[in-house]
Structure 1
Amino acid sequence: MKDNELIVCRDVSLGYEGKSVLTDLDLTIAKGDYLCVVGDNGSGKSTLMRGLLGLIQPQSGTIEHAPALKHGAIGYLPQQTRAQRDFPATVLEVVLSGCLNRQGLYFFYTPAQRSEAMMNLGKLGILELKDACYRDLSGGQQQRVLLARALCAASQLLILDEPITGLDPAAAQDLYKTLAYLNQKEGMAIVMVTHDLKAALKSARTVLHIGRKGLFTGTASDYLASPQGRRFREELES
């Protein structure tokens, strides 16, 4: 791998129980990238996220991670379930749990980890909520808490799966602005699955379209000119 590369997929096929969901994928995620993954329902977007996280292994091909990412140091923001939204813990406890991969055999969080959690709460503008109960927060506040948690786990890469699901338009825009800040000002690489194509094309440096008729990887403008993106361009212009 090159020094600026975080994850490299070479001729990757992913799936379950011998059945491929995603095939022939070549993809490089570099430091500071902002990649949006779009496509039809059931096309394999969430399967790709599981592959990038190392939760499933390729059926063929290789997924190579940079040394900095080989110890679980990827921040992940999954889609929330109803049970997770009702989790009875304080905001600070939820954010601190992002440090668990670095705990090793130690039970207690270190002062440095607590300081990092507080810093990330402040960075996302929710420090005053640190003692609040997570389940009492609004959807937008919960997403900020989960993003602060992901930052406690992340070193250089955040992976987000439909992060604006259930958010009102104002909360969604706040989240996009936060991600842009993390990417542009702090150099955090972003990989985001989304159905919000308009926002994706505005934010992304690279678009990966996963469809039943093949894959496309390129810039937002190249995507809109491609066969895969032409239908979405017509929707945006209508």
Structure 2
Amino acid sequence: VVNKVRYFLSRRVGNKKLKVGHAGTLDPLATGLLIICAGDFTKRIEEFQAMAKTYEGTIVLGATTPSFDLEKAPDQFFPTGHITPALMDLARTKFIGDIEQIPPVFSAVKVDGRRLYKNARTGEEVELPQRKVHIDTFELLGELRRVVSSGKEAYVASKKGAPIMLHPDYAEGVQIDFRVVCSKGTYIRALAKDFGEAVKSGAYLSRLVRTGTGGFDLKDAWELEDLVRWIGGPQL
């Protein structure tokens, strides 16, 4: 995204050395708000990065994945019949305020100068660092609902199009929507995984949308196609 914006914007203003950057990446399967800074505004990137982030998404309870989301298929399965609204609400409150997180092994966090996801892909084991983050708000939205099932097999739709099988003959997969306001560096995937453990089950993140950064809101953002068209580039 940044390279595309830099290319068309530098052509429009006639400055090949125009600085363009972003104020915080999104996970590979996440969507939503990405703040792009150009020119003198690149000096404010750290300011924007430090702002609280707001996310909405869906947590699937009853299974875990190595990546804590749908980048990898579920590998362990857990009961969910005991999970009640009261249990979820009690678990939710444990994650408000300052908390310690262990980032996903499939993440861009660096250990000894190397990205964790690179170690994960080569099978190299490393000690995962704990990180202190802050959760301002963790709300559960709506009610628990069953994962969409077909016959005796339960599936969830992945961003890449093809459905990922939750587990054959698995009838206990349930999901809940949520909203989180958190500090820079918070891994919502890790929050989903830890929430699953807190309700004595397993969990992973199946959907994530960044809806806000500080005072910037997704509803006011430009789609990439519209931004490039405004800059003067070709239709994507």
Larger helix proportion, structure 1 or 2? 1
Q: Same fold by TM (over 0.5)?
A: no
Larger strand proportion, structure 1 or 2? 2
Q: Which has the larger radius of gyration?
A: 2
TM superposition score normalised by structure 1? 0.24
TM superposition score normalised by structure 2? 0.24
